[in-house]
Structure formats: structure tokens, C-alpha cells
Amino acid sequence: MSRQSRYETRTDEADLRRVRQLVAASEGDPLAPFALRPEKSYVFASGGAAAIGYRIRLGTAVASGDPVGSSEAWPAAIEAFVCDARSKRLRVAVIGAGERARPLWAQYHLSGVPIGRDVVVPAAEFTVQGRRFRNLRQAIQRSHNMGVKVEFAREGELSTDQVEELRSLMKRSRRDDSRGFSMILGRLFNGDAPDALIAVARDAHGCAVAAHRYLWAGRRDLSLDLPVRSSTAPNGVDERLIADVVQWSSENGVERVSLAFAPFPELFVDRNHLRVPGKVAYAAVHLLDPLISVERLYRYLRKFHAFGQQRYVMLRRRQIVIVALALLLLEFS
């Protein structure tokens, strides 16, 4: 039996129900819904008011995002997780720790390495007017000019034919909904997220050419889970989907829409003025291009001018190599 399988506990339905309730109570955390990714195990604070989802790779217990549940119980959840991991002689690391949780993890001698920022659009304040939104406005207009229309549905309300149509779109887009760890829930249409919002873009012929799935984070926030897009989709379709989802949100009591996560934005703002460490980091980030086009993602997300709080990997610096390998295995294998 591997060290990983020996120490990862099998999550039962009772634990999943508890975590779902904690996610529903987690306001203002766009990563909260991803705590429910099926293969995660959980450690609960004493009293059960907060929990941490994690997995084990290469002898490292990796927590995903901030604890879900009451922020007052976060210290107890973190203490329980660290004690559990160390009792099993596992390293401790966190991917996607936010600014509120960072000092709590630091108490256990973990250092924060910034890895990017949340991208969160306030629904009521969203606009595409003004010079700085020109690129976004033009992209959205291109989709209108091509006859693209957007429709919405709850995942649990989709018909069998609609599900098959979207599965076919995913296959054409070669998007794997099982990959990821900290910021993708995946497993579409398996019945676990019936309230997820599905936004579908159709071309002038009525064919589905792109779709976004959004998960509920608390009662007033939506988080983009998985975007899929056909190679034949007109330009501006993804921007149009987001703009229409934000508009839908403002009309339906949703306060914020998270567009995922912008990795290492500071590296791409003005790379011509980077110093030597920055240039090394820039080159290292581009080694990930076969897995994820980080700079391309940044240039897409910056159109919305909605960068939010910093996210961190928390680790012991002397363990940075082994932890980096564990994170790559979790996110991309």
C-alpha cells in the first residue's frame, strides 16, 4: 500500500453533506465550491464549524484554498490539519491560500509564495464603458455582429439532449473536466451540482459553440468552474459569455462573479522592466505552456480590470522542489 493511499481517508456521504453545508456558508471566497472536488479528503475543526479539503502527493499533505465554513473556526481547522499531517510524518503545504488565512498558516512556520490573484467582478458595478474597457467592449461587439446568442439554465434542469450536446462540445474542445485540484470541480452532469449555472453561447445557426459552468460560493457569489469553447467559435464568445453572466447575476441578486484565477500577473505587466529574478521567474512560468498558457490567460483576464486578493502557496522553503512537484502532479495529472 502506498503512503498516499494509506493516509488519505475515504470520504463518506455524511462528511460530504457537512462540507456542502460549510461551502454554502462560505461568503466571499471564490474557491470555496472547489472544496467539493470528489477525490478530496477532509479534516474538520473541533466542533465541525470549518473544514479543509486536501490530498496527498509525494509525502506532502496539500490543503486546497482556505478553510470552508466559519472564519472564526479557521484556526482550529488549520491546527487540526497540521497536527493530523505531522502525526503521519507528512509534509504540509497549501495551494491557493488567501490573504486572511496566510498569517494563520505562517504560525506553523510556513512561508508564503505569491502565485497570482483572484479575478472577481462586482456584478452591480460592471460596465464595458470607458477607454480601459475598449478591448473588452470590442470583443463583445464582435460576438453580437456574428449573431451569437447566450442562454442560461440550471445544470439539473438540462434535458438529456442538451447534456449530450454539451458533452459533444467538450469533446470537440478537448477540455478534460477531470483535471485540476484547487480551482476546478469538474465532473459535469453527474448530479452533484444541480444548481450550477450553465451559460451556453450559440452561433447564428443555433449550434452551441461555447459554454461556461458557474458554481455557487455562498448565497451571493458565482465562481467560474469550467469554460469550454469550440475551435470554430466566433471571436469574443468567451468575453460575451462572461458579460452576459454578470448581467444575469446583477438581475438575480448575485453580488460577485469570480472568473477564476490570474497566475503571476506582476510578471506580465511590463516584462521589459523585470530585474534578473523576475526574468528567471518569467522564463520558468513559460515552461508550463504545454499545460497552461499562463501569459495568454493573464492577457485575457486583464480585460476585466478585476484583479483581487493575492493567493499563495504556503510551504517550508527548504521543501520547495518536492512541494512544487507534488502541486504539478495534483493540478495536471
Encode pLDDT of 120-169 as tens digits. Answer: 999 999 999 999 999 999 999 999 999 999 999 999 999 999 999 999 99
Statement to judge: residues 79 and 134 lie in one domain = no
Statement to judge: residues 97 and 137 lie in one domain = no
Statement to judge: residues 88 and 99 lie in one domain = yes
For the entire predicted model, the pTM comes to 0.89
Please give the pLDDT value at position 321: 94
Statement to judge: residues 173 and 248 lie in one domain = yes
Assess whether pLDDT exceeds 90 at residue 186: no
- Mention every residue, 6+ apart, whose C-beta is less than 8 A from residue 165: 208
| Beta-sheet pairing, 197-202 with 208-217 | antiparallel
CA–CA separation, 151 and 162 (whole Å): 12
Task: Return the CA Rg of the chain.
Answer: 20
In which residue are the cell numbers 454578470 written? 246
Closest CA to 197 of 216, 175, 171: 216
When comparing pLDDT for 313 and 279, which is higher? 313
When comparing pLDDT for 225 and 3, which is higher? 225
Closest CA to 23 of 225, 180, 158: 225
Please provide the distance, in angstroms rounded to a whole number, between the alpha carbons at the two ends of the chain: 20
- Mention every residue, 6+ apart, whose C-beta is less than 8 A from residue 21: none
State how many domains the chain has: 3
Encode pLDDT of 41-70 as tens digits. Answer: 999 999 999 999 999 999 999 999 999 999
Please give the pLDDT value at position 8: 64
Please give the pLDDT value at position 187: 78
Statement to judge: residues 143 and 102 lie in one domain = no
Here the CATH number for the domain that contains residue 204 is 3.40.630.30
Statement to judge: residues 271 and 321 lie in one domain = no
Statement to judge: residues 62 and 127 lie in one domain = no
Please give the pLDDT value at position 177: 60
Assess whether pLDDT exceeds 80 at residue 11: no
CA–CA separation, 85 and 313 (whole Å): 17
Looking from the CA of 118 toward its CB, the CA atoms found within 13 Å total 25
Statement to judge: residues 175 and 267 lie in one domain = no
Q: How confident is the model at residue 1 (pLDDT cuts 50, 70, 90)?
A: very low
Statement to judge: residues 145 and 267 lie in one domain = no
Statement to judge: residues 125 and 160 lie in one domain = yes
Please give the pLDDT value at position 10: 62
Mean pLDDT of the chain: 90
Please give the pLDDT value at position 201: 97
CA angle centred on 118, ends 115 and 121, rounded to 5° = 160
Statement to judge: residues 133 and 255 lie in one domain = yes
Q: Which range marks the domain in which residue 229 is found?
A: 119-260
Please give the pLDDT value at position 163: 93
Statement to judge: residues 214 and 242 lie in one domain = yes
Please give the pLDDT value at position 326: 95
What mean pLDDT is predicted for residues 89-118?
Answer: 96
Here the CATH number for the domain that contains residue 41 is 3.40.630
